[in-house]
Amino acid sequence: MKELEKNYNPSAIEEKLYQKWLDNKYFHADAERGKREGKKPFTIVMPPPNITGQLHMGHALDNTMQDILTRYKRMQGYEALWQPGTDHAAIATEVKVIDKLRKEGVDKHDLGRDKFLEACWDWKKEYGTRIIKQLHKLGSSADWDRERFTMDKGCSDAVLEVFVKLYEKGYIYKGSRIINWCPVCQTSISDAEVEHEEQDGFFWHINYPIVGEEGRFVEIATTRPETLLGDTAVAVNPEDERYKDIIGKMLKLPLTDREIPVIADEYVDKEFGTGCVKITPAHDPNDFEVGRRHNLAEICIMHDDATIDCKGSKYDGMDRYEARKAMVEDLKAQGLLVKVVPHSHNVGTHDRCKTTVEPMVKQQWFVRMDEMAKPAIAALKNGDLKFVPESFGKTYLHWLEGIRDWCISRQLWWGHRIPAYYCQECGEITVAKSMPEKCPKCGCTHLKQDEDTLDTWFSSALWPFSTLGWPEKTKELEYFYPTDVLVTGYDIIFFWVIRMVFSGYEQTGKCPFNTVLIHGLVRDSQGRKMSKSLGNGIDPLEVIDKYGADALRMTLITGNAPGNDMRFYWERVEASRNFANKVWNASRFIMMNMEKAPVHEVSLDDLTMADKWILSKVNTLARDVTENLDKFELGIALQKVYDFIWEEFCDWYIEMVKPRLWNDEDSTKAAALWTLKTVLINSLKLLHPYMPFITEEIFCNLQDEEESIMVSAWPEYKAEWSFEQDEYAVETIKEAVRAIRNVRTSMNVAPSKKAKVYVVSENQKLLQIFEHSKVFFATLGYASEVFLQSDKQGIADDAVSVVIPEASIYIPFAELVDIAKEIERLQKEEERLTKELARVNGMLSNEKFVSKAPEAKINEEKAKLEKYTQMMEQVKARLAQLQ
């Protein structure tokens, strides 16, 4: 046994211990070993952080939760695999590389595709492992030997396999549908990359003339007047009596030479706006669906850079916002602009470049979702998949039941290139894992691959099985798949969770995990989302450098309930650090005493009542924490461990046993030392998943039976460690001691001042408990002597009393207080209160003050009057008692 350093210094131990864990391969999971030793597998796949990523509080929370579950299961004897890896993050990485090249004076297109991809791989080599190294500092016990990347060969092979299979099955197709288009990045983007923010705008009310009915108009209201150039109808609700007579009539589309029909569609809300809605199928997802129902033309009126594409029009080539201004002026000049009403509405912006996204109909590659969604819906309904908390299952179903075909093509170079090959002679499209030697239709050898790449989510949807070697039938896939738990934030259910579930069923026939544990966001102390624009983000590495990884981890989990947001307070990190210090100092104290008298095995019969009490308590704690962790109640489990270590073990038991440790003649000293070591080891094991570093350092210095707490056995409930009677006895003593302490505190009695304690009870069993516990009254209740009796005989009339169940405790007043000094103190207090009461009464009886002072000031003085009056009554009562 080595001696711990005097002060706990996280920076001195964390890096050293993490390297030890890596060197000893403690994180490594082995399918063959698991099968050979009959172990059950436990698998978590890490949501792959972007290679552009920097560790933020969301990552820290997400990975801490995964690490807790993995360390817990590993200690329980499972072959626990936490599968790590990173995502190529197509748009984010491409933007970073373009910016880097631009600073070097190089343009992406001048460089060419192949050279640009070389630059991307160079960037990945330089920056791609940065966030992984940061996760090391957090203490993440992922199997880094198995680290994967969404564009490594194995994952890329899986992407090709899936694309070709889905295409051959008719689930992947190329067609024109509405997508999110970023005019700056000039690519389609996923819904996940669109941030909706509230913006102040306007409703422009415009009159569309009814053809053949001079002076009669249909009034529409729009937030984007420039899109009217692409209108192909105006819709009204078929039940709207106001407009039944114009259904089927034609309207003159303002600023154009076109006419468009009035159509009836239930999509229109009669109560919203004017009840007439302009339909622009090429620039609005809802309008697109209406247009398909009514076979309307889809007129795209914008170029890729969001300038107007309207040949022969004065607006052609204008920026969309420049065109908006010009069109509004022209509408006003033609008398067709009815009014402009301020309107606040949600606007979609690209999360990377912050540009307002333009919904546009474009030729893209899509995945047909109607059939693939069905097994994913059934999984939740039949119980194969569950959410924690359950309520998020409704969100999952809501999105799945309303799912649209998924746009999977991106106009980027960095990513998985779409494996579609175009014959340059006959136009035939061939989808294959590699370029065909010739066109299967015409035999031409001049083939060209599709320029687009796949949506990043396409590869990450395969993550739970592609990382284990699929489509090959590997031993890892056989043993570790399906995985057990997915830990993720509530903001990514649709974008990632749903896609993994339907991909898992489609490719493997199995749900990729049985449980989705949802966590909330880490917000700042004011409850705001952390963001660069607000400047309120907190770097987890800064917290680790200042307080240690264990303090950060504990802070993130304390009070954390699944699905709920949490607020970050520096004060809570300090409290976590203080707890670490408490554990460290208690351990040092125990180890110092163990050095003086080596610990040896004792019989449970040799234990005292206090020993059995704390052993029984830690035994129950092991059962409760196990139950909580199995229910994913990570915050509740941590609170129980914290309360036990701080209060029961440190504040009560260690104080109880000090007299035994300091008395070499005490025959129970060996039992005390064995109990201290046993309970400390079990406490450290229960704390280890949350605070891995400090628990490892103490554990390895405290004992040499097990080489690391990481691979030690998780504490299990033992029937022979259950001592209900001893628990009752000690809890009774604690209640008595607390009562004595409260009395002394209320009377400002210093701990150094000892006093006699009388316990009066007719319950002989209770008196017997106290008889065996007199020493605790001395050490914990500051008693000079303890008397146990069945009546009040011999107790002074002025004795202070407190009542506990089935007993009363008396302390002679004269032993607590120097009566002469207390009378002098009370007389001074009486004089002070007399002056205060005179002042307050004077103010409240002054008519000028009462008539002119603010009501709040008057109420404040009234409150003071009430307070001082009560205090004066108490002082006089105490004086009368003493005199």
Task: Tell me the binding residues for ATP.
Answer: 532
**CB distance 633 to 559 below 8 Å:** no
Q: What is the CA radius of gyration of the chain?
A: 37
**CB distance 162 to 39 below 8 Å:** no
Residue with tokens 């009462």: 850
Two tokens at 643?
A: 């309360």
Q: What is the 3-state secondary structure (H, E, C) of 330-398?
A: HHHHCCCEEEEEEEEEEEEEECCCCCECEEEEEEEEEECCCCCHHHHHHHHHCCCCEEECCCHHHHHHH
Beta bridge partners of 114: none
Biggest CA pair distance of the chain: 118
Burial tier of 163 (Cβ tally within 10 Å: 0-12, 13-18, 19+): buried
**What residues form the annotated binding site?**
532
Two tokens at 870?
A: 């009560």
Q: CA angle 457-460-461, nearest 5°?
A: 80
**CB distance 807 to 801 below 8 Å:** no
Output the CA torsion sign for 590, 592, 596, 598.
Answer: positive
Q: What CA–CA distance (Å, rounded) separates 489 from 876?
A: 61
**CB distance 334 to 254 below 8 Å:** yes
**CB distance 434 to 115 below 8 Å:** no
Q: What CA–CA distance (Å, rounded) separates 544 from 553?
A: 9
Two tokens at 546?
A: 């200042």
- The residue type at 15: E
Q: What CA–CA distance (Å, rounded) separates 444 from 709?
A: 66
- The residue type at 651: D
Q: What CA–CA distance (Å, rounded) separates 839 from 851?
A: 18
**CB distance 684 to 591 below 8 Å:** no
What is residue 406's three-state secondary structure? strand
Q: Is the preceding peptide bond at 84 cis, omega within 30 degrees of 0?
A: no
Q: What CA–CA distance (Å, rounded) separates 556 from 540?
A: 11
Residue with tokens 């302009």: 278
Closest of 827, 830, 794, 824 to residue 810, by C-alpha: 794
List alpha helices for 532-608, DSSP H.
Answer: 540-547, 549-557, 570-596
Q: Where are the beta strands (DSSP E) in 210-326?
A: 217-222, 233-236, 250-252, 259-264, 276-279
Chain centroid, CA 525 distance in Å? 15
**CB distance 860 to 849 below 8 Å:** no
**CB distance 3 to 537 below 8 Å:** no
Q: Where are the beta strands (DSSP E) in 145-226?
A: 148-149, 172-182, 187-189, 194-209, 217-222
